[in-house]
Chains A and B, each alone.
Chain A
Amino acid sequence: MASEPVQVRKIVVRALVIIACIVALSVLPAFVDSYTLRIATGALMWAGLACAWNIVGGYAGYISFGHSAFFGIGAYTTAILMQSGIGASFFTTLLPAILLSIAVAIAIGFPTMRLRGAYFAIATWAFAEMLLQLATVLDITGGTAGLSLPAYLNEFFFYYTMLVTAAASFIGVWWLIDRSRFGFRIKALRDDEPAAESLGIRTNLIKVQAFALSAAITALFGSIYAYWTTYIDPHSVMGPQITDQMVVMVLLGGLGTVWGPALGGVLLWVTNRYIWSTFGDTVVYLPILGVIIALVVLFLPNGLISLLVGRRRGRELIAKILSKF
C-alpha cells in the first residue's frame, strides 16, 4: 500500500525532531544564566503537565478540572516523606507519590468517568476543591502554613530532572497514543463511545487507565516542583490556577495533538515570565492571555501547532497571510 512509507517517514521525522530537541535542551544550561535556566525549568514542567492533561482532555475527550489535586498529591507526598521525622530521600518519595495518585485517580475515575461533558468537569473540579480544603485543615499537610522541604540549591539538578521527566512523559505518551492499541482505544472512545463499545472496547476501563496515567505524570511533576521550590502550601500546589494553566496551554497549543500541549506549555510559561519581568506583576498577564486565547480560538481552532504541522487550516491561514504581501 502506497501510504505505508508515509507513515514510516512520519515516525522517523518525529523521532529525529524529538532527539534534536532533547540534544538542544541538554546543552542549553551551558549557554544561559541562572535566571533563564529557572524559566526553562518551569517551561519543561508546564510542557510535561500539559502533555499529561492532554491524555484525558485531548485524547479521551474528558475535560478534567481536577488535575491540581494530583499535582498536590505528588507535592505533598514528597514534602511529607522528606520531613525530618521520616527523612526520606527525594527519589524514594517519587514512587509513593505516583502510586498514591494512581490509587486516587482510580477511586475518583470509576464513578466520575461515567459522566460526560460539563458534569465530568464539575465533578473533577469539586474533587480538587475538596482535597484543597482538606489540605488547609489537616496537620499532616501543615494546614494553611504549608510545609518546608530540605533545600537543595542546585538549578542544574532540577533542570535535568525536569528535562528527563518531561522527555520521558512526552515520548511515552506519544508511543502509547500513536503506536499502541491503547491509543486506538482511547481515540476511538473520544470520537464515538457507543461505536467503540460495539467494537469490543471496554471504554470505562480505558478511560480510568488514561485518567490514572495522566494523574501519575502530574503527581510526578508535583513531587519535583515541591523539592525545587522548597516550600509548598495548599494554594500553591492545589489551587485551581494549576489546572487552569494546563487546560489553557493545551487549548492554545492544540488539543489532542502530540506537539501542541508541549508548545502551548512552553510558550505560555515563557510569556508569563516575560510579562512578569517586564511589568513586575502578573495582573497584566491575564488580559494579554485573554487576547491570545480569543485570537487562537477565532483563527486557529486546532491550536498553534496547526501553523507548524499538517493541519490544513493552519496551512491555509499561512498561505492567506503570505498572499497579502
Chain B
Amino acid sequence: MSSPSSETRPSGHPVLVVESVAKHFGGIKAVDGVSLNVESGEVVGVIGPNGSGKSTLFSLASGGQKPDKGSVKINGTDVTGWPTWKVARSGISRTFQIPSLFTNMSVRDNLLAAAVEGDWRGARKRMNDTLDMLEISHVVDNLASELSGGQQKLVEFGRICMRDPKVVLLDEVTAGVHPNIRKIILSAIQRLRETGITFLIIEHDMEMVKEICDRMIVMDQGKIVAEGSFESIANDRNVQQAYLGHS
C-alpha cells in the first residue's frame, strides 16, 4: 500500500484541531505553541527525536494533561481542560508508549472493558471480530500479564477497535514487535481508516510511516519544525538538523 485509495482519502472535515497548545514542566518547554489540523480519515505520522514533545502532545490532545495555553477541539467541540474520561467519550482513543493493559484481567476482559461506555450489547460480537482481526483468539483467556510484548501491543490496539473512536492516537504501536505483528497492526489500521477513523501515529519506523501516512509532522524541542509528505520531509533541512543536531 503506497498511497491511500480514493475511498479512504481525507474528507476535508477537520476532526482534530489543536491551536497553539503549550505545556511546560518547570523550565522545560515540552510542547511550545503547537497547532495542527487533522481531517477525517487522515493518517498523520508524528516523528521527531526523543524528548521532542510528541507523547506530551498526545497527552494534551487526549486530556491526560491540561495545556498551559492553547485549545483542543474534537469535531468542533472545544475539549480543552476536560477530564480524560470526557475527552475519551467525545471520540478520541489512544495507545501508550508502554502498553497500559489491565494486567490482572484476561484478554477477553481487557477488550470488554473497552466497550463499557459504548455499545455494550454488541460488545461480544465486536470482541470476537477484534480477536479474529488481530489473530489473538488463542490467548483470549490468558491474563494480560502473561502475554508477550507484541501480544500486549495487539490487545491495546484491540481495545481501540472495541470503541467507536473518531480519532486514534497511536504511540509507537509497532516499536519492538515481531514483523508478523507489525503486519497485523498495519492491516488493522488500514481497515479502520476505511471506516473513516482518523489516525495520528508517533513512530520511529520510517518505512511504516512512509507506507501508511498521508502526511507527516516533525517535532523538535516542543515545536513543529516541518510538515508535509514523506518525500518533502526527508529533504527538509530543519528535519535533518533535528535528527543530526543543530550546527
Provide the bound-state CA to CA distance between A2 and B132, in Å.
Answer: 12
Do residues B101 and A187 form an inter-chain contact, with CB atoms below 8 A? no
Give the distance to chain B from A192, nearest Cβ to Cβ, in Å.
Answer: 5
Residues in B neighbouring A192, C-beta threshold 8 A? 100-103
A1 and B88: CB pair below 8 A?
no
The bracket for how many chain B residues form the interface is: 20 to 34
Contact A200 B83 (CB under 8 A): no
CB distance from A194 to the nearest CB of B (A): 7
Task: Kindly list chain B residues whose C-beta atoms are within 8 Å of the C-beta of A3.
Answer: 108, 140-141
Cβ A196 vs Cβ B113 within 8 A:
yes
Select from chain B the residue with minimum beta-carbon distance to A187: B105
B104 A198 Cβ-Cβ under 8 A: no
Judge whether A198 and B109 touch: CB under 8 Å. Answer: no
**Majority secondary structure, A binding face:** helix
| Structural contact, B84 and A184, CB atoms closer than 8 A | no
Contact segment of B27-35, B114-122, B181-189, B231-239: B114-122
A3-B140, A3-B141, A256-B104 known; A198 vs B84 contact (CB < 8 Å) = yes
Distance to closest chain A CB from B65 (angstroms)? 10
What is the interface residue range for chain A against chain B?
20 to 34
Interface centre among A181, A188, A198, by most chain B C-beta atoms within 10 angstroms, is A198
Nearest A residue to B102, CB-CB: A191
* Partner of A198 from B64, B103, B112 at Cβ < 8 Å: B64
Which residue of chain A has the shortest Cβ distance to B92 in the bound complex? A198
Chain A residue numbers with a CB within 8 Å of B118 are 200
Q: State how many angstroms separate the Cβ of B176 from the closest Cβ of chain A.
A: 19
Residues of A within 8 A of B56 (CB): none
B159 proximal to A (CB < 8 A): yes
Partner of A187, one of B62, B88, B104: B104
Question: Is there contact, CB below 8 Å, between B117 and A200?
Answer: yes
Set A188, A197, A256: member contacting B84, Cβ < 8 A = A197
B89 at the interface (CB under 8 A from A): yes
Asked if B66 CB lies within 8 Å of chain A CBs, one says: no
B residues near A315, Cβ cutoff 8 Å = none
Is A184 a contact partner of B112 (Cβ separation < 8 A)?
A: yes
> Known interface pairs A187-B105, A192-B100. Does A201 touch B140 (Cβ–Cβ under 8 Å)?
no
Selected contact of B117 from candidates A6, A195, A199, CB within 8 Å? A199
Q: Which of A182-234 contact B (CB under 8 A)?
A: 184-185, 187-188, 190-192, 194-203
CB < 8 Å: which of B63, B85, B100 contacts A201?
A: B85
Task: Please indicate the chain B residues that have their CB under 8 angstroms from the CB of A202 in the complex.
Answer: 83, 85-86
In the complex, whether B223 has a CB less than 8 A from a CB of chain A is no
Bound together, the chains give a CA A195 to CA B97 distance in angstroms of 12
Query: How far is it, in angstroms, between the C-alpha of A187 and the C-alpha of B106 when the chains are bound?
Result: 11
Judging by beta carbons under 8 Å apart, are A188 and B85 in contact?
A: no
Residues of A contacting B8 in the complex (Cβ-Cβ under 8 angstroms): none
Check A184 against B113 for contact (C-beta < 8 Å).
yes
| A199-B88, A200-B163 known; A1-B128 Cβ under 8 A | yes
Mask: chain A, 1-41; 1 = CB below 8 Å from B; 0 = not: 11100100000000000000000000000000000000000
User: 17 new A-B pairs (CB below 8 Å) besides A188-B102, A196-B102?
Assistant: A1-B131, A184-B112, A185-B116, A187-B102, A190-B102, A191-B103, A191-B105, A192-B103, A194-B84, A195-B100, A198-B64, A199-B113, A199-B117, A200-B89, A200-B163, A202-B85, A202-B86
A-B contact list, 18 entries, CB within 8 Å: A6-B141, A181-B116, A181-B120, A187-B105, A188-B113, A191-B103, A191-B105, A192-B101, A194-B100, A195-B100, A198-B84, A198-B100, A199-B93, A199-B117, A200-B116, A200-B117, A200-B163, A256-B104
Q: Which residues of A contact B (CB under 8 A)?
A: 1-3, 6, 181, 184-185, 187-188, 190-192, 194-203, 256
